[in-house]
Amino acid sequence: MMGVPGSYDASVYDDLEDNDQEGRWFVRKYGGLPDISIQTRNVCTGEALPGPDETDAVVLAGSYNSVHDHTFWQQAVLAWFPVIRESRIPVLGICGSHQLLGCYFGAEVRRLGQGPYAGTFSTSLTEAGRASPLMKGIADGDHFHYANAEHVTEVPPAGVLLAHSGKVPVAALDFGGHWYSTQFHPESTVQSLGTI
């Protein structure tokens, strides 16, 4: 989870092996995949984002910070998007990064009216979602982990709706050019989501 240090209670992660270092957890969980090398950058602590010549694809994590906080790291990511987009680098934004991408492409992000949408919920695919390479192997109605207090309220002009779920009408988007985002956490486990 991305977040300005001190803007969330990091002690809730004390029982997890990697504490609140999601990058280490991600590498430990997925670093053994064949032919894949994973590097992490903690932009929230000032680490530089990778240049187009340093990466083949990007996964952007969830966030404790609202897109309305306009933190230094969010501004850095928003300024970095055009460079990565122009370089045709694939991007997957998850949860808070789904919201950041939604804002970047012109969608509105609002707080959920009846409190957070947190838990494991059924996710419905659209026709575009059923045909999407992002959703390959996912059946309509499969369950995913959600943990969000805000959501993208509409499909932005550059986007195609891939999925929706309960109080989240925009659960997954395709922005073209192999840029995708999901409000749910496809990388999460019950243990990590329960901690969040």
Q: Is residue 84 assigned to a domain?
A: yes
Helix (H) or strand (E) holding 109: strand 109-111
At a CB cut-off of 8 Å and minimum separation 6, what does 134 contact? Answer: 92, 162, 172, 174, 180
Residue 175 covered by a domain: yes
Tokens 């309220």 correspond to 153
Decide if 67 is inside a domain.
yes
Determine the residue type at 67: V
Instruction: Indicate which CATH number applies to the domain containing 190.
Output: 3.40.50.880
Q: Report if residue 74 sits inside a domain.
A: yes
Residue 4 falls inside a structural domain? no
Question: Average pLDDT by consecutive 10-residue portion of the chain (196 residues)?
Answer: 69 70 74 86 90 95 91 96 97 96 97 89 97 96 93 96 96 98 85 64
83 inside domain:
yes
pLDDT score recorded for residue 192: 64
Tell me what pLDDT residue 11 has. 76
Domain that holds residue 62: 10-195
End-to-end Cα distance, the chain: 9
Identity of residue 55: T
Residue with the two structure tokens 């950041």: 100
Amino acid 30: pLDDT: 75
What total of structural domains would you count in the chain? 1
SS3 assignment, position 170: strand
Domain assignment present for 156: yes
Output the pTM of the full model.
0.89
In a domain, 126, yes or no: yes
Helix, strand, or coil here: 105? coil
